């Protein structure tokens, strides 16, 4: 799924022309090289803005990753800026740090990163404290819209009493700095607990883990299988029997197991559990990726168009989750569920009442599952992709597609691998303190939050 416009504005005469005309110029995003994962982690030196113990802790974390860390604005370009705002108690205190960030934005390298670290506002906060904490929301989302050349801005929001040294705070920081978060922009990752563990090897955080991926035969699902495998996981790929040929091809690429079944059948979870138990003895990760669209205006909606979308996109997940949660000893280290939501489920989309309903339902399901899974050291999270370049979006009429691609801060569609990277992060041991989250992979799409 190539984006001809993106290629044109990045090469030769058309590049000059686009520049002169002031046309949108989407950049080639910095993505993970499977042969050199996380290398380099950021495209240049790191600048940490802030004061106090939290800032010191974050600077130490970055030093631990062998980054060239600066505490004062350097003269030369920077690859990433981390702005620590956890200690602020009034809006007026933000000024110095925000303006310091402003002074380096012009020298931010292509594919650079801005990451804010702040604290969650709570109902018991003093109004001034709540004001500055919530203010970060509008600040970061605005910064992200000002960044160019494939740079992104995202925030980490720490819960009460959560240290920036907490495994998931560190894990989120690394994810947001790295190429793995290429298409995540203008988003916040909430770290609710100090759970989770740093992996022995940051480039293979899923080593020894067993992952089930539904809808693994093609598109985003196939890419999820590849990224989970790259990160060290053993993959059990599931898809409908009719997709068996491509499922086999993908599983042979990742050394996984192909299991042909329809997830809406009553015994789907039992068969998945049986296969995983006999081959691997466990399931650590379940990625509910399988989903369908049957777009129709509601006025023209046929019963089977509505019902089939609900059956595949959410009812099957609900049923399978019950079985996974009830299976004794299936996930000794806690089950990590990651479901595919969609920006259509957040902002709505014309012609997608069925799809929007099902994807919003997935978000509700995820939030309700989070506390239940936390009891067993697991998590439930969702990823909401925006416009992703897949076979499905390739069927959108050309002009509509061109417009849809530009409707985000990165001015382009994401790739399936971008969704897969975020799922792999949420399934990783270092993300154990992130639970009940819906993380958007949308390049900061203009619609919804």
Partner 1 sequence: MPSNSSPRRAAVIGSNRIPFGKAGGAYANATNLDMLGAALSGLVARFQLQGERLGDVAGGAVLKHSRDFNMTREAVLGSALSPQTPAFDVQRACGTSLETVTAIANKIALGQIDSGIAAGVDSTSDAPIVVSDRLRRTLIKLSRAKTLPDRLKLVASIRPGDLAPVAPDVAEPRTGLSMGEHQALTTLKWKITREAQDEIALASHKNLAQAYEDGLFDDLITPYRGLVRDESLRSDTSAEKLAKLKPVFGKGLGEGVATMTAGNSTPLSDGAATVLLGTDEWAAERGLPVLAHVVDAEAAAVDFVRGEEGLLMGGAYAVPRLLHRNKLVLADFDFIEIHEAFASTVLTTTAAWADEKFMVSKVGLPPLGRLNPAVLNVAGSSLAAGHPFGATGARIVGTLATLLSRAKQSRPDGGPVRGLISVCAAGGQAVAMILEAA
Measured from the CB atom, is 65 or 280 closer to partner 1? Answer: 280
Q: How far is CA 18 from the centre of its chain?
A: 31
* Residue 237 C-beta: closest distance to partner 1, Å: 8
Measured from the CB atom, is 134 or 264 closer to partner 1? Answer: 264
Residue among 202, 324, 355, 425 flagged as catalytic: 355
Q: How far is CA 181 from the centre of its chain?
A: 7
Residue 257 within binding range of partner 1, rule CB under 8 A: yes
Residue 205 within binding range of partner 1, rule CB under 8 A: no
* Residue 208 C-beta: closest distance to partner 1, Å: 16
Binding partner 1 (rule: CB under 8 A), the pick from 255, 266, 303, 329 is: 255
Segment contacting partner 1 by CB under 8 A, of 20-28, 34-42, 272-280, 422-430 = 272-280
Q: Which residues, including other chains, have CB under 8 Å from residue 289's CB and lie 6 or more apart?
A: 213, 214, 215, 216, 220, 221, 224, 340, 423
* Residue 274 C-beta: closest distance to partner 1, Å: 10
Q: Which residues, including other chains, have CB under 8 Å from residue 5's CB and lie 6 or more apart?
A: 26, 402, 405
Q: From CA 405, how far away is CA 317, in angstroms rounded?
A: 29
Q: From CA 232, how far away is CA 237, in angstroms rounded?
A: 15
Measured from the CB atom, is 103 or 252 closer to partner 1? Answer: 252
Binding partner 1 (rule: CB under 8 A), the pick from 258, 320, 388, 419 is: 258
Greatest pairwise CA separation for the chain in angstroms: 64
Segment contacting partner 1 by CB under 8 A, of 178-186, 244-252, 410-418, 419-427 = 244-252
Please state whether the peptide bond connecting residue 40 to the residue before it is cis, i.e. omega within 30 degrees of 0. yes
Bridge partners of 441, per DSSP, are 385
Binding partner 1 (rule: CB under 8 A), the pick from 84, 139, 179, 243 is: 243
How many residues of this chain bind partner 1 (CB under 8 A)? 22
Binding partner 1 (rule: CB under 8 A), the pick from 66, 75, 124, 245 is: 245
Segment contacting partner 1 by CB under 8 A, of 12-20, 33-41, 97-105, 249-257 = 249-257
Segment contacting partner 1 by CB under 8 A, of 104-112, 190-198, 276-284, 396-404 = 276-284
Known catalytic residue at 355: yes
Residues noted as catalytic: 355
Positions touching partner 1 (CB under 8 A) are 241-245, 247-249, 251-252, 255-261, 265, 278-281
């Amino acid at each position: 799924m190539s984006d001809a416009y993106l290629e044109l504005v990045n090469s030769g005469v058309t590049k000059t022309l686009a520049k002169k005309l002031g046309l949108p110029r989407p950049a080639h995003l910095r993505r993970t090289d499977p042969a050199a994962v996380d290398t380099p982690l950021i495209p240049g030196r790191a600048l940490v803005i802030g004061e106090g113990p939290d800032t010191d802790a974050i600077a130490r974390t970055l030093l631990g990753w062998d980054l060239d860390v600066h505490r004062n604005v350097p003269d030369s370009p920077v690859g990433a800026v981390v702005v620590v705002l956890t200690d602020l108690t009034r809006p007026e205190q933000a000024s110095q740090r925000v303006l310091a960030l402003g002074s380096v934005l012009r020298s931010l390298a292509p594919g650079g990163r801005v990451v804010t670290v702040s604290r969650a506002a709570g109902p018991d906060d003093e109004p001034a404290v709540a004001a500055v904490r919530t203010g970060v929301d509008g600040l970061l989302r605005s910064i992200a819209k000002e960044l160019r050349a494939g740079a992104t801005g995202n925030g980490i929001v720490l819960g009460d009493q959560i240290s920036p040294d907490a495994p998931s705070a560190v894990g989120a920081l690394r994810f947001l700095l790295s190429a793995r978060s290429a298409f995540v922009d203008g988003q916040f990752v909430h770290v609710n607990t100090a759970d989770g563990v740093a992996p022995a090897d940051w480039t293979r955080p899923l080593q020894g883990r067993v992952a089930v991926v539904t809808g693994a035969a093609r598109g985003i699902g196939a890419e999820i299988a590849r990224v989970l495998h790259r990160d060290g996981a053993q993959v059990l790929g599931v898809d409908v029997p009719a997709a068996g040929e491509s499922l086999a091809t993908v599983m042979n690429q990742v050394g996984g197991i192909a299991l042909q079944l329809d997830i809406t059948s009553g015994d789907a979870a039992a068969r998945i559990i049986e296969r995983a138990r006999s081959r691997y003895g466990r399931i650590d990760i379940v990625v509910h990726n399988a989903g369908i669209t049957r777009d129709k205006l509601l006025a023209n909606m046929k019963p089977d168009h509505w019902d089939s979308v609900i059956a595949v996109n959410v009812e099957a997940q609900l049923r399978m989750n019950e079985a996974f949660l009830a299976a004794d000893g299936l996930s000794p280290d806690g089950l990590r569920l990651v479901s595919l939501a969609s920006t259509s489920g957040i902002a709505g989309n014309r012609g997608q009442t069925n799809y929007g309903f099902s994807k919003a339902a997935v978000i509700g399901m995820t939030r309700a599952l989070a506390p239940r899974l936390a009891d067993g050291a697991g998590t439930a999270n969702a990823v909401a992709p925006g416009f992703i370049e897949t076979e499905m979006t390739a069927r959108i009429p050309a002009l509509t597609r061109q417009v849809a691609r530009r409707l985000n801060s990165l001015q382009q569609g994401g790739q399936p691998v971008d969704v897969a990277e975020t799922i792999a992060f949420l399934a990783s041991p270092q993300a154990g303190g992130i639970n009940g989250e819906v993380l958007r992979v949308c390049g900061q799409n203009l619609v919804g939050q």
